Structure 1
């Protein structure tokens, strides 16, 4: 991977048919004020899952117990990036806003799709697919 592409991980935390999103603080270096999934940049020598666990501990104070890879999406703004997205349905602790977010909110599917639509055109489809897979696991 080129050093000029930001390697990122993100989590779709799902509980009771809702997805947890955060609105980034206005003073963030990356995507200030935007709604986003939780996660961040992968540090040198860190694995994707390792980065995800670190970011969720730092941002929300939780430890994932159930992690499933969903997809990779790519973008070019504000700089080139790649995001590996994971579905998280079980975790240790209760999510609390600990860093870099002005607010966090549990969103129904339509609200989450609306909030993330501008971030990447695949987000609405990925959010819908994630909730569908959770429903199938809960009600086989």
Structure 2
């Protein structure tokens, strides 16, 4: 089976908090859930380039060169790469209201109370916010 959906996900971390976006209830894919900013890779883009572009388009920020790839999930027709962004210019704001109706910086405990887009997110959030092996 070929991968049809190559996606880059931006994980912005500020201390012990991570930025989550609430996807609008009328979205076709993953409606009414909390997710990370991101989207499909364009032709010729790397996951890091796509994460930077998506942050510009969805959050109105410019990501600096610093980043760390957190991992990749390949399942069925989806190939999702998670990129932790270590620095950026500007304050994240919702510049894509057609996609998200809320943005929120959350701690691990707060994130675990949300309806998340993927059941694997709690493990990813623990690793990012607390550390490996937790």
- TM-score scaled to structure 2, two decimals? 0.84
Which of the numbers 123, 127, 140 marks the counterpart of 2:125? 127
Report 1:64-83 matches (<5 A). 64-65=63-64, 66-75=66-75, 80-83=77-80
For 1:94, the equivalent position in structure 2 comes to: 91
> Structure 2: how far apart are the matches of 1:103 and 1:70?
24
SS in 1 for 2:56: helix
Q: Which moved more, 1:27-36 or 1:43-52?
A: 27-36
- 1:114 positional shift: 4.1
CA offset digits 1:80-130 (Å, max 9, x no partner): 322100111311111010111010011111222343656132x21221111
For 1:26, the equivalent position in structure 2 comes to: 25
- 1:75 positional shift: 4.5
- 1:13 positional shift: 0.8
Is the Cα contact below 8 Å between 1:75 and 1:120 reproduced in 2? no
CA 1:75–1:32 in 2, change beyond 3 Å: closer, same or farther? farther
* Structure 2 stretches lacking a partner, 5+ long: none
Flag the structure with higher helix content. 1
> Structure 1: how far apart are the matches of 2:122 and 2:130?
12
- TM-score scaled to structure 1, two decimals? 0.80
> Structure 2: how far apart are the matches of 1:86 and 1:114?
23
* Structure 1 stretches lacking a partner, 5+ long: 134-140
Aligned-pair RMSD on alpha carbons? 2.0
CA offset digits 1:39-87 (Å, max 9, x no partner): 11111222111111110000001112221100112345xxx32210011
Aligned length: 128
> Structure 2: how far apart are the matches of 1:117 and 1:2?
26
